[in-house]
Amino acid sequence: MISLVFGILVSACFCYWGTSAVAMALLSLYALVLLQQNFSASMSYMTMTSGICSILVFLSVLLCFLAIVSTPSEKESSYLFWISILGLILVIVFSSPNLVFFYVFFEASLIPTLILIVGWGYQPERLQAGTYLMLYTVTASLPLLALLVWRGLSNASFNMFALLQLPLVGSGFIAVVAYGAFLVKLPMYSFHLWLPKAHVEAPLAGSMILAGILLKLGGYGLMQMNKCFSLGGTGWPTTILVSLSMWGALLATLMCLRQVDMKALVAYSSVGHMGIVAAGVLLERTWGLMSATVTMLAHGLSSSAMFCLAYFTYEKVHTRNLPYLGGFLVAYPALSFFWFIFCCINMAAPPTLNLLGELMVVPSLWSSHILLVFVMGLMVFFSAAYNMYLYTSINHGALSSYCTSSSPLRSFEMGALFFHCIPLCFILKSQLLYF
C-alpha cells in the first residue's frame, strides 16, 4: 500500500510541475500492476478488509490527483492544499485499524469538504448546502461515538481486529445506532437530501471527491460495524434497512427521470447505486460483500467521470439545464463520445464493471426475499432509461442556440476522462480471467 500511495503522489507531483506525459505513464503503471493485485486479494479473501482498504486508498489518491488535473485554472495554493488534506485524511480513514482514529478522521473529512464547497462553490446557496451536509452527518454520527467508546472500554481494546475476535450479542438498538451514521453518509434514501444540494453547489473537484470517495466511507463503515459488533445478515433491523435501501434506490432512480439539472441527475443516480451497496453489506453474505466492493469501485470512477463531463459541458453552454442543451454530437464529437461511454458504464451495460456489481447482489437479495429481486430488476430498467434520457438530451437533436463558441476537449480534459476509464477496463479484464 505504501508503494502504491508513494507512486501516485510522485505522479501527481510530476503532473503538477508540467511533465504530464511522465505522470500519466507512472499512473498507468500503478493502476495496471498494483490495483490488479489488491482487487484480486479482496475478491479471494472477502472476510479480511485489507484488500478493500487498498482499493479505497488507491481510489482516494487517484481521484484527488484527477481532481487537480481536471481543474488547472484553479491553481491557488489554498485550493490544492485542501484537496491534498482531504486525500490524506481519506487515506488515514481507510488504513486505520483503531476505532477512535477511524471515527475522528471520518468526521474530520467533513472540514475540507465543507471548505471546498463554501470557498469555491458557484452560487450563494452553497452556504445552505454546507449546512445540510454538516447537520445530517454530524447528527447521525454523535450516537455512534458513544457506542464505539462503550465497545472499546468494555473490551479494553479499540483495535478492530481484536474486536473481531470478541463477538457481541447485539440488539436492534445497537444495530440502528451503529448503522445510522454510515447510512446517512452513504446516503440511504430519506436521509439523502444533503447530497444533491452539496453536489449542485460544489466545485468540480468537490463533486468528484464527494461522489467518488466520500460516499464510499459509508459502505466501508458498514463493513467495519458488521465486524466490530457482529451485526448483519439477520434480525429485524437488517430486514427493515435492506428494504428501505432497495425501495429507496428505486425511488431515487425514478427521480432521475424528472431532473433537469445535469449534476442533480448524476447525484440522484449515486443514491440509487449506493442503495445496492447498502443492501449487499447489510445482508452479510459473500456475494453481497463482493457486489458492494465492486460497485463502490465502479461507481467511484464512473460518477466522478460524469461530473467531469457535466462541468466540461457547462463550459460550452454556461448552463446545466437539459432543456437548453442539445446537438453536441455535431459540435463536439469527442465530448459526445465520452458521454456515450460513461452513460453506458453508469447504466451497467455489458461488459462493464458496474454490471458485475449489480449481478453479484442478486443471490443475496434472492435469499432474503424474492420481491427485492423484482425491485432490483425495475432499478436496472429505469437506470437505462434515465441514462438514455441524459445522453440524448445533451447530444442529439439540433444544436442549442444557447451554445457559445468554444474549443473542443483540451488535452488535460481528455486525459482525465481517459484515466477514469483505465482502471475500469483493466479490472474487468482481470476479473474475467479470475472467474
DSSP secondary structure code for residue 347 in this structure: T
C-alpha cell at 208: 468528484
What amino acid occupies position 335? L
Query: Which of the four pLDDT bands, split at 50, 70 and 90, describes residue 17?
Result: very low
Q: How many residues are listed for the chain in this entry?
A: 435
Give CA angle at 362 (356, 365), nearest 5°: 145
pTM: 0.86
Asked whether the beta carbons of 223 and 353 are under 8 A apart, the reply is no
Give the domain range for residue 269: 2-434
| pLDDT tens digits, one per residue of 136-179 | 988 888 889 888 888 888 877 788 777 777 766 666 778 888 88
CA distance 126 to 145: 28
Say what the pLDDT of residue 31 is: 42
CA distance 28 to 30: 6
In this prediction, residues 258-268 reach a mean pLDDT of 92
Q: Which residue has the higher pLDDT, 49 or 322?
A: 322
Say what the pLDDT of residue 50 is: 64
In this prediction, residues 366-392 reach a mean pLDDT of 93
DSSP secondary structure code for residue 405 in this structure: P
Say what the pLDDT of residue 168 is: 66
In this prediction, residues 385-410 reach a mean pLDDT of 85
DSSP secondary structure code for residue 404 in this structure: P
Query: Which of the four pLDDT bands, split at 50, 70 and 90, describes residue 75?
Result: low
What amino acid occupies position 260? V
Structural domain tally of the chain? 1
What is the signed CA dihedral for 82, 86, 88, 89, rounded to 10 degrees?
Answer: 130
Q: Is the pLDDT of residue 48 over 60?
A: no
Q: Is the pLDDT of residue 375 over 90?
A: yes
CA distance 230 to 240: 18
Out of 27-31, 174-178, 279-283, 371-375, which region has the weakest mean confidence (pLDDT)? 27-31
| Mean pLDDT, the chain, whole residue set | 81
Q: Which residue has the higher pLDDT, 287 or 433?
A: 287
In this prediction, residues 322-340 reach a mean pLDDT of 90
Say what the pLDDT of residue 278 is: 93
> Which residues are 159's β-sheet partners?
98
Q: Is the pLDDT of residue 37 over 50?
A: no
Q: Is the pLDDT of residue 9 over 60?
A: no
Q: Which of 87, 35, 37, 88 is nearest to 66 (CA)?
A: 87
Asked whether the beta carbons of 198 and 259 are under 8 A apart, the reply is no
Residue that the C-alpha cell 427493515 belongs to: 240
